[in-house]
Structure 1
């Protein structure tokens, strides 16, 4: 049986005057799924996130969140938490005081132990007594995530949660989101960082000019995409080049790299698989094979550029 849906949106429209921000958007997000939301600036991502958080109301269409139809009124749906355009914090308060104040605004009586646990989850225990005014962008993002975790949400909506994070902080946040999804929490994650989305998301939705141009698993996106460039490093570069030139569907990019040990080829996935099999049968070890540009980024560019054309 299919997993229950945390979000079911059909034909969602939203206009601001003459500007159509969302134009018939459909969206399905299963329980326990991390779903990526991608699109160029002005594509409608922020508007859609605002609808999910109850910060705006759709002009048309049907939206169900956690199995409940969303009413035509501004109100955060029960079981939903997150932030858009960065978390709202009190700069003069400490990290711990911010969480206590935000919990009080939501009418929640949160124990000190719960606040400490949220700070520990996002790696801010050591600065719990420091004022938020002195926090870096990445620390503020993590404090916003801690505030969202206080309510133990079943749906977490996040806008650029890895913004400003160093590699260690990003790994920490990735671990938090992965554990939440494993425990059944659904996450909608908007980001311009394709590497974050590919590392975390099982499915993505790509928006362009307020419309959905793709939605589905990342594997399907790669399969449907045009040919990609791949870096290929082997134990015998010259022999690998000869085999590649003799393999149907493989195109060698002569100007693709200055490294004589690396071969850059352009191919669809089936042709690339065929080349790898031929290399192995010839006794040539494949030491590295990776897309020059990630499948998600390549598809994002292709689909959004196509949608933007008249």
Structure 2
């Protein structure tokens, strides 16, 4: 029976020498969704993506991809593609020649010109297909790497910071493309440091900190974890506004907010959204015009900061030593145009 999960991890642990990169990761990623992988630097995101791409294997625990177990003997199943740290490209070949060469390396002997043209069109690079990527911007190289992955028609697409270097129009185009892939049944796993991208693109998200999962579930649920937020309130009378903030139940006046100059007609109030709604009513009742209102950070970013701060150990833990540490960083065993893996 075919698995209902694209990725299923149980107690997955990965060591690099004495460093515990992943520490007992439990994770389920359903088929047919865009799943975000977020966390601070060093949280284990790249290590986990590398396991999914077959660049290394776990030292402990079990990992299933597309219903098949992954280990040193079996490797990663067919149907997985993607890249880490940017795609590996041939700078002296044109974009179209790069894709044709990658298709040939994967064993496709027949003419793939139509598929190459379709992949270039999908990522919005049809007009530069005969140009060499050595002159491409970061965003264009990212899109060419995505086109190479799409040539394999992957069932699991793994992307590391796919929005890097993209202008707003290109980002919207790629977001729409990844959403269409998920709607067609593929699973897309993306890592990102940009919470606005995660909110716009992903239906579920996994948050890693210190190699452990501290949250996994719907984006909306993670955003709800933020609880009390700081809100910037621009008004016609900041003196009265400060007094009204202190009189509103559930709100706290933030007296030394970051990024505000003393002459700014802005106050910062901390509390739940229900209390902020009440603040607006009270300000209007006091004859104070509200000229602007919004959180200082998005709810998703606030939850990210709160959960990763809570997961940070107060003292460095001594890592356990595995029976047989693995140091492999092998070449991909899946059709992935990977750059250098960390």
Q: CA deviation at 1:267?
A: 0.9
When normalised by structure 1's length, the TM-score is 0.88
Pairing of 1:11-26 with structure 2 (within 5 A): 11-26=11-26
Q: Which of these residues, 265, 275, 288, is aligned with residue 269 of structure 2?
A: 265
* Per-residue Cα deviation, 1:7-39 (whole angstroms, up to 9, x for no partner): 111110111221111110011111221111112
Once residues 159 and 124 of structure 1 are traced to their aligned partners in structure 2, the CA distance between those partners, rounded to angstroms, is 20
Q: 1:306 aligns with which of 306, 310, 314?
A: 310
CA distance in 2 between partners of 1:178 and 1:287 (Å): 36
Do the aligned partners of 1:103 and 1:110 also contact (CA within 8 Å) in 2?
Answer: no
Post-superposition offset of 1:115:
0.9
* Counterpart for residue 192 of structure 1: 193
Q: Cα 1:267–1:53, aligned 2, differ >3 Å: closer, same or farther? A: same
Would you say the 8 A contact 1:251–1:267 is kept in 2?
Answer: yes
Report the Cα distance in structure 2 between the residues aligned to 1:201 and 1:234, rounded to whole angstroms: 35
Shift of 1:57: 0.9
Contact 1:57 / 1:73 at 8 angstroms: preserved in 2?
no
1:58 positional shift:
0.9
Are residues 281 and 156 of structure 1, via their aligned partners in 2, closer, same or farther at CA, if it must alter by over 3 Å? farther
Structure 1 position 144, deviation (Å): 0.4
Contact 2:103/2:112 (CA < 8 Å) preserved in 1?
no
Q: Are residues 1:230 and 2:238 paired?
A: no
- What secondary structure does 2:127 align onto? helix
Q: What's the TM-score, normalizing by structure 2?
A: 0.80
Whole-angstrom CA distance in 2 between matches of 1:268 and 1:73: 52
Q: For residues 239 and 165 of structure 1, do their structure 2 counterparts lie closer, same or farther at Cα, with a shift above 3 Å needed? A: same
SS at match of 1:303: helix
Unaligned runs of 5+ in 1: none
Shift of 1:183: 2.0
Matches within 5 A, 1:1-310: 4-73=4-73, 75-108=75-108, 109=110, 111-232=112-233, 244-256=245-257, 257=260, 262-275=266-279, 289-308=293-312, 309-310=314-315
Post-superposition shift, 1:215? 1.6
User: RMSD of the alignment, in Å?
Assistant: 2.7
Structure 2 unmatched ranges of 5 or more: 316-342
CA shift digits 1:255-287 (9 cap, x unpaired): 544576654321124433554676799999977
When residues 255 and 41 of structure 1 are mapped into structure 2, their CA distance, relative to the original with a 3 A threshold, is: closer
**How far apart are the structure 2 equivalents of 1:294 and 1:132?**
36
Instruction: Report the alpha carbon displacement of residue 55 of structure 1 after superposing the two structures with TM.
Output: 1.3
